[in-house]
Structure 1
Amino acid sequence: MEEMEEELKCPVCGSFYREPIILPCSHNLCQACARNILVQTPESESPQSRRASGSGVSDYDYLDLDKMSLYSEADSGYGSYGGFASAPTTPCQKSPNGVRVFPPAMPPPATHLSPALAPVPRNSCITCPQCHRSLILDDRGLRGFPKNRVLEGVIDRYQQSKAAALKCQLCEKAPKEATVMCEQCDVFYCDPCRLRCHPPRGPLAKHRLVPPAQGRVSRRLSPRKVSTCTDHELENHSMYCVQCKMPVCYQCLEEGKHSSHEVKALGAMWKLHKSQLSQALNGLSDRAKEAKEFLVQLRNMVQQIQENSVEFEACLVAQCDALIDALNRRKAQLLARVNKEHEHKLKVVRDQISHCTVKLRQTTGLMEYCLEVIKENDPSGFLQISDALIRRVHLTEDQWGKGTLTPRMTTDFDLSLDNSPLLQSIHQLDFVQVKASSPVPATPILQLEECCTHNNSATLSWKQPPLSTVAAEGYILELDDGSGGQFREVYVGKETMCTVDGLHFNSTYNARVKAFNKTGVSPYSKTLVLQTSEAIVAHEIKPMMRYLWLTLPFPVPSERLPLRRMSPFSSTLNLQPSFPGRSYFDFRSSPHQLSLHSSLQSLNAPGCNFETQSAPYSQLVDIKKLLAVAWFAFDPGSAHSDIIFSNDNLTVTCSSYDDRVVLGKTGFSKGVHYWELTIDRYDNHPDPAFGVARIDVMKDVMLGKDDKAWAMYVDNNRSWFMHNNSHTNRTEGGITKGATIGVLLDLNRKTLTFFINDEQQGPIAFENVEGLFFPAVSLNRNVQVSTEPLGVRANKCPGFFKPGNLPCKPRKTYPQLE
Structure 2
Amino acid sequence: MNTRMEEELKCPVCNRFFCNPVLLPCFHSLCTVCAVQVQDLLPPIGQQHQQCQQQNTAGVSCGNPISSGVLDESGAGSVVGSESDLPDIDKLSIVSETDSGVICNSRPNSYIGTPGLGSIFFQATQGAVFSLRCPVCKKTIYLDEHGVQTLPKSCVLESMVEKFSRGGGGGGGGSCGGPGGQQGPSGSSTIIKCQLCDDETDCNDASCMCEQCEIFYCDACRDRCHPPRGPLAKHHLMDPCQGQILLKRSKVKYSTCNDHVDEQLSMYCMICKFPVCYLCAQEGRHINHEVQALGIICKVQKSELSQNLQSLSEKAKSGTLFIQRLKAMTDRVENNCTEFQKSVIHKCDELIDSIKERKQFLLESLNDEKEVKILTLKEQVSHCTSLLQRTTGLLQYSIEVLKESDAFSFLQISGALINRVSSADENFNKEMELTPRISPEFELAFDNESILHAIQTMDFYQMKAPGQPVIITEDCSAENNSVTIAWQPHPSSIVEAFTLELDDGNNGDFRVVYVGRETICTVDGLHFNSIYNARVKAHNHAGESIFSELVSLQTAEVAWFCLDRDFAPPDVIFSENNQSASCRSFGHRVILGAVGLSKGVHYWEISIDRYDNHTDLAFGIARFDVDKRSMLGKDDKGWSMYIDDQRSWFFHCDNHSTRIEGGIKQGNVVGVLLDLNDPEHSLSYFVNSRPQGPIAFTDLQGVFFPAVSINRGVQVTLYTGLQPPACGEI
Task: Give the structure-1-normalised TM-score.
Answer: 0.33
Bigger RCO of structures 1 and 2 (CA < 8 A, at least 6 apart): 1
**Larger CA Rg, structure 1 vs 2:** 2
